[in-house]
Amino acid sequence: MATPGSPALETNAAHDAAKALRLPIAWLVALAAFIAFWLYAEPVARAAFDYPKAYTVPLAKWISSAMKWLIDDASFGLFSFTDLTRFVSAVLDVPYRLASSLLSTGFLEGSGSSAIQIVPPLPWVAVIGLVMLLGHWLGGMRLGLLAGGCFLFLAVFGQWTSAMITLASILVAAPLGVVFGLLFGIAAWRWRWIERLITPPLDLMQTIPVFAYLVPVLFLFGFGPTAAVIATLIFATPPMTRIAILALRAVPGEIIDLGHMVGCTDRQMTWRVMVPAARESLMVGMNQVIMLSLNMVIIASMIGAGGLGFDVLAALRRLDFGAGLEAGFAIVALAIAMDRLSQAAAEKLSAPASDPATSGLFARHPYLIAALALAIMTTLLGYVVPGIHTYPEAWQLSTGTFWSEVVAWININFFDTLEAIKNAMLLNVLIPFKRFLGDLPWFGVAALLSFAGCRLGGLRLAALASGLALFIAATGQWEKAMITVYLCGISAVLAALIGLPIGIFAATRDRVWSWVQVAIDTLQTLPSFVYLMPAVMLFRVGDFTAMIAVVAFAVAPAIRYTALGIRKVDPRLIEAGRAMGCTEWQILTRIRLKLALPEILLGLNQTIMFALSMLVITALVGTRDLGQEVYIALTKADTGRGLVAGLSIAAIAIIADRLISAGAIHARRRLGLE
Amino acid sequence: MHSANIFTGRSFRRWTAALVMSGASCLGLSAPAPAQESTDPIKLTLHDWTGQLITTEIMGEVLKKAGYSIEYVQADYLAQFAGLETGDLHVAMEMWETTGREAMDAATATGKVENFGPTGMKAKEEWWYPSYMTEKCPGLPNWEALKEEACAEAFSTAETAPKGRYLGGPVTWGGFDDERVEALDLPFEVIHAGTDAALFAELESAYQRQAPIMLWIYAPHWAPAKYEGQWVEFPEYSAECYNDPAAGINPDAAYDCGKPFGEIWKVGWAGVKDKWPGAYDAIKAFTIDNDEMGKMITEVDLNGKTVSAVVADWMGANEARWSGWIKK
């Protein structure tokens, strides 16, 4: 990474100026050629504008038949492929069963409605007590109260039963996601070839919409909570791996040297030196896994996981905004409690253990003993006083029709104003941009991408970018892909414009940051359905409503990573800057932003990825992009069609990601940062 | 039979179990589920609309009365076919001809999913408008009124003017509305909602403001009970009208008529018949009609009763009917 104020900056300046002059000329020529091609080549080269149907590759059909073979016939001799996947889900089912028995169903003999309960699930009083104990142990009184408060919210608003079902599946999925993510990250950090090997799958896992692979996952892993856990893992692990690689690489050289000097083995080096040193960034990864797991709650509920996601969907289908919001906020409460607890846990576990010299079981494990005592006592008491076991219905609160009335009030009083704003935005920005992108010739775009790739990252990048563009055209997805680019592009730009300033502002103010954190955690975990349907009421179905949903979701990483990057800047450098007489503005632009650049770029990258991952949701309000293609494929159980559309979305994401990162490296070199 | 578990010796336990089993069959004990039927739970899928929850819970309660073990699994309407084919799920109580036909046909073609016959309910789907719109377009519900310019304009928005705006169902529902508008030469633009939640959110919004709206509504559903309005009366549906351009008002185009009524089917895993023959018969025998269902949906969605309470009421009032389904 860069060392600010290095003399290299000065000497390079002249050289850079020359370079900066040379570069735009090539770009201008390419752009001019592109525009000329676009305007004049249509009569000559029809095929460059509309990809000829006869040459469309029937990839969808191939994938469908390959999948059929995999499910029906594939075999390793002794056992078939399906046996293997079923075995995996049987293994995953064990911890899930345990968690759900403990929290929601109780331990049962038999199955279905004829099952007999042997031991009831933990009473609500016990769960709240345990969470508070855990919070107190990990982070003191404040954390205990926070975690307990979150869980109390679930009980008070009548979400307890569903929330425990959701909690059980998250308790299985999130730790697995963190462990797998970290292991992949470490492997990729150690061996470069592994990084090269896993980067494309990581991109695909994060960008192919879940709906696209839902059907094959269900066939392979069976219908139920474990399939939901697997889909969650596929979706939620990649950010952990990415952050782990970045974090390990950012560990200062001095620490590594020290590790070598004191004679660490490879294993000690990894677990005792690198991982603890990268702790802060790894915690962000953990946070992301938890957030994304909770994000999957809605989709998981569609494939048999039940819980809060199901409540949200059912409430919104009857337009009961209040109930939807309550279930949605229950998800948020779970997310906040789990995130804060896990962060405290990571901090406590990686801190040097203060060796307790006290002897005696009670003195050494006061929390464990208290927890056990609490669980047993409340369970026994629950047989006598039912209110201890199940939260009494009479004490439940509900916002009732309040939220529906709020929406109705806004609708009746402000609809015309909102409609005017929406129409202005649609007619002046959205529709012209959409038309513009729709008109572009695919061949010209592919060539331009190839040129950009070549300038920014060399021939390989050029081949990648144009190859992926060709893939989209050749599978017959060009038109839909352009609508996708338009919707996600505008939304990502808006999200970045909103997110970066907020991130910068909040980063240096601890109090503001803690509130902003709550806000972005909420945005990221509150199912978008909850605000999508009121948005439909106010803005009608269509692109504008979709854009609101995408921006609301994609703004979170823009804020989070910006703030993280700035907060990580070494305070001594800021001090040094001050001592040298920098103004606040200079400190911000010359020191903080420059040093935070890698994180900010990662944040932008994630903003684009998040925007693309919302595509399937936007299909639910009537957009006509690749997301809708995936959704249609799901409804027709057409594996091939869904995966092809999903891969096209991934292709867009990868092109954007690679060009942006190559551009960033390029820019940093020009600025003398590397 | 659980008493057998008290003994710890394995052979002794097996021996006892065999004895109990044979004893039961010799005496012809009316064990809840017949001996040859599996005691595994039958998994019924729950979707996210009230009518389906009611239908499924009625079926589940009836099967429980017959001694079967029941498990409700929340599953997506279309994604569930993956589970029904593999036998992870067993019964889906509502598969609408109008929206689920293709997925159902694809699944039954594999031979692993079976159609358990109609539920007796009929799905009605058609263009629908709130009653306050008759003022602006007095010719309704006759469809020909929609051809008048003033009438179409009354239904327009800034984006569609001077054409009217018709909010159709999600593209996945089919419905041929784009074709219908063309064939009947209606001055309307078809906008597709993404989900039915979005569809009803728009209706709620327009209804609150008494604003114009024309949209796709289906029944049985709570919407026709909650909002006052009428279906547009198109020329009656016939199979020829959809398949043969020559039939109907417009000699050059198909789809120049209204939408068909569709059955709502019961479907399930093909293995149900062998694993739980009695349950299979009961599921096939299940029927209920639109009016009954409409009333129950209204009780739940508009009067705030729980699904279980409404189902319990129905079970109490219709004992003769459902006991007929499960009698051997």
Question: What pLDDT digit, counting tens, does each position of A20-55 carry?
Answer: 445 577 788 888 888 888 777 777 777 777 777 777
pLDDT, position B22: 46
Do A622 and B102 make contact, defined as CB atoms within 8 angstroms? Answer: no
Domain ranges of chain A: 169-338
Q: Going by DSSP bridges, is the β-strand pair B113-130/B262-269 parallel, antiparallel, or unpaired? A: antiparallel
Question: What is the Cα–Cα distance from A68 to A598, expressed in whole angstroms?
Answer: 43
Angle between helices A124-156 and A321-350 (to 10 degrees): 130
Of A116, A215, A529, the CB nearest to B82: A215
Domain B34-122+263-326: homologous superfamily in CATH: Periplasmic binding protein-like II (3.40.190.10)
Residues of chain A with pLDDT > 90, as a percent, come to: 15
Question: What is the Cα–Cα distance from B145 to A337, expressed in whole angstroms?
Answer: 58
Q: Going by DSSP bridges, is the β-strand pair B214-219/B113-130 parallel, antiparallel, or unpaired? A: antiparallel
Please count the residue pairs, one from chain A and one from chain B, whose beta carbons lie less than 8 angstroms apart: 166
Is the Cβ of A419 closer than 8 Å to some Cβ of chain B?
Answer: yes
From B132, B149, B148, B174, select the one nearest B259 (Cα to Cα): B174
The A residues from 320 to 349 touching B (CB cutoff 8 Å) are none
pLDDT, position A11: 46
Mean pLDDT of B259-285: 90
Outline where B66-174 has alpha helix (H). Answer: 80-86, 97-109, 149-154
Give the residue, B25 or A46, on which the prediction is more confident. A46
All residues of chain B having their beta carbon less than 8 Å from the beta carbon of residue A538 are 205
From A567, A565, A569, select the one nearest A600 (Cα to Cα): A565
Mean pLDDT of B126-155: 88
Smallest CA–CA separation between A575 and chain B, in Å? Answer: 54
Is the Cβ of A113 closer than 8 Å to some Cβ of chain B?
Answer: yes
* SS3 per-residue string spanning A203-255: HHHHHCCHHHHHHHHHHHHCCCHHHHHHHHHHHHHHHHHHHHHHHHHCCCHHH
Do B103 and A635 make contact, defined as CB atoms within 8 angstroms? Answer: yes
pLDDT digits (tens, 9 = 90+) for A470-501: 999 888 888 889 999 999 999 999 999 999 99
Of A302, A319, A637, the CB nearest to B201: A319
Q: How far is CA A217 from the centre of its chain?
A: 20
Smallest CA–CA separation between B79 and chain A, in Å? Answer: 7
Is the Cβ of A313 closer than 8 Å to some Cβ of chain B?
Answer: yes
User: Before A527, cis peptide (omega within 30)?
Assistant: no
- Per mean pLDDT, which of A543-557, B21-35, B167-181 is the most reliable? A543-557
pLDDT, position B315: 92
Residues of chain B with pLDDT > 90, as a percent, come to: 23
Band the pLDDT of A590: cuts 50, 70, 90. Answer: confident
Of B40, B76, B209, the CB nearest to A411: B209
Q: Is the pLDDT of residue A307 over 60?
A: yes
Domain ranges of chain B: 34-122+263-326, 123-262
pLDDT, position B4: 37
Q: pTM for this structure?
A: 0.81
Smallest CA–CA separation between A81 and chain B, in Å? Answer: 14
All residues of chain B having their beta carbon less than 8 Å from the beta carbon of residue A112 are 40-43, 69-71
pLDDT, position A673: 58
What is the 8-class DSSP label of residue A326?
H
pLDDT digits (tens, 9 = 90+) for A637-657: 788 888 899 999 989 988 988
User: Before A366, cis peptide (omega within 30)?
Assistant: no
Q: Is the pLDDT of residue B172 over 80?
A: no
Band the pLDDT of B30: cuts 50, 70, 90. Answer: very low
Backbone dihedral angles phi then psi of residue B128, each to the nearest 5 degrees: -145, 145
Q: Is the pLDDT of residue A636 over 80?
A: no
Do B198 and A109 make contact, defined as CB atoms within 8 angstroms? Answer: no
Backbone dihedral angles phi then psi of residue A405, each to the nearest 5 degrees: -70, -35
The A residues from 529 to 568 touching B (CB cutoff 8 Å) are 529, 532-534, 536-538, 540-542
Backbone dihedral angles phi then psi of residue B177, each to the nearest 5 degrees: -75, -35
All residues of chain A having their beta carbon less than 8 Å from the beta carbon of residue B222 are 318
Q: Which of A354-368, A516-530, B23-37, B253-267 has the lowest mean pLDDT?
A: B23-37
Are B32 and B40 within 8 A, CB to CB? no
Question: What is the Cα–Cα distance from B222 to B234, expressed in whole angstroms?
Answer: 23
pLDDT, position A353: 54
Mean pLDDT of A170-186: 91
Q: Which of A18-22, A82-86, A465-469, A603-607 has the lowest mean pLDDT?
A: A18-22
Q: What angle do CA B141, B142, B147 make, to 5 degrees?
A: 110
pLDDT, position A250: 85
Question: What is the Cα–Cα distance from A298 to B48, expressed in whole angstroms?
Answer: 12
Q: Which fold has domain B123-262?
A: D-Maltodextrin-Binding Protein; domain 2 (3.40.190)
Q: What is the mean pLDDT of chain B?
A: 82
Q: Which of A27-36, A147-156, A242-251, A441-450 has the lowest mean pLDDT?
A: A27-36
Give the residue, A359 or B316, on which the prediction is more confident. B316
Q: Which fold has domain A169-338?
A: MetI-like fold (1.10.3720)
Residue in this structure with the two tokens 């891969």, named with its chain if needed: A647
Outline where A394-441 has alpha helix (H). Answer: 402-425, 431-439
All residues of chain A having their beta carbon less than 8 Å from the beta carbon of residue B105 are none
Do B198 and A622 make contact, defined as CB atoms within 8 angstroms? Answer: yes
